[in-house]
Amino acid sequence: MIKLYADTIPNLRRDIIKNVTAALEEDVGSGDITAQLIPAEQLAKAEVITREDCIFCGKDWVEETFRQLDPEVTITWHIDDGGKAAADSVLFELQGRARSLLTGERTALNFVQLLSGTATTARQYADLVKDLPIKILDTRKTIPGLRSAQKYAVACGGCHNHRLGLYDAFLIKENHIAAAGSIAQAIKKARELAPGKPVEVEVETLDELDRAIAAGAEIIMLDEMELTEINQHLQGRGLTSHLELSGGLNISQLETQRAVLENISRISVGALTKHCKAVDLSMRVIASFD
């Protein structure tokens, strides 16, 4: 695991173990009956390839899969998390008991295909703004049980993590504001409850934007607002808050918005984890021996 990425996700190692344990219980259950067709001590060597260009992610999930199944399986890596793999290239090789390789194949590849798909999507978005002072962030729209895994993959792809859950940052939305009485009151209460936590406010109008700025929100999320109008509204004003663009943006929409992103420092994109396409992978046994 690349330390730079791992440090962005607290308790990632704990979550990897939980992910793999659950996946093996789901797939293997009481035992792999097809693998029992093969002699127990027969050895084999296999390689895993990608059928398409991708940004690789999932190394620790593969290692944990075979650690839990059979610690004697050896893995030879040809790529690290965050690395770019060309179509038809070998990602890693496995050697050990044939039964173990075949039993662990689907679990290991399921993690890699999902996480590499997430990392590949993230790299596409990151490349789009690489010449701009803007961070592309993920959201909480993740597969249940795999949030830390997908957020790790987002970081491997070159994008950034928004809050991990409801516990590590405030995101004050319309209903919170209504219940608290006002934007200013909601921000004041948030700072009293947890002084060290970031405070973000979602706004839908220019009036709400002004109120959030006046209340000193660190981050203001613009929910499907017109950027040209916002730029005109803010012209000549010093801005201390970070403005975050949100609202279901995809790559083509973001490309058309580039010219009006002058006040934007953050863009949150649910598609990084919600709409990612799994990478096409294949494992093939290349040798079998006693």
Active site residue 138: no
Partner residues linked to 222 by β-bridges = 203, 245
Annotated active-site residue in 60, 202, 208, 244: 202
Structure tokens that stand for 228 in this block = 């040209």
106, 140, 188, 197: which one is catalytic?
106
Annotated catalytic residue 202: yes
What would the two tokens of residue 161 be?
A: 């993590």
Beta bridge mates, 245: 222, 267
Matching residue, tokens 């030879």 = 76
Q: Which of 32, 62, 60 is nearest to 47 (CA)?
A: 62
Q: How many CA atoms lie within 13 A of 227 on its CB side?
A: 19
Q: Is 99 a catalytic residue?
A: no
Does 173 participate in catalysis according to the annotation?
A: yes
Catalytic residue among 173, 188, 189, 274: 173
Q: Catalytic: which of 45, 141, 188, 274?
A: 141
Residue 3 dihedral angles phi and psi, to the nearest 5°: -60, -40
Cβ neighbours for 201, distance < 8 A, ≥ 6 positions apart: 171, 172, 177, 183, 186, 187, 212, 215, 217, 219, 220, 221
Q: Is 213 exposed, middle or buried (0-12, 13-18, 19+ CB in 10 A)?
A: buried
For 8, 82, 103, the CA distances from 115, given in Å and listed in that order, are 16, 10, 20
As annotated, the active-site residues are 106, 141, 173, 202, 223
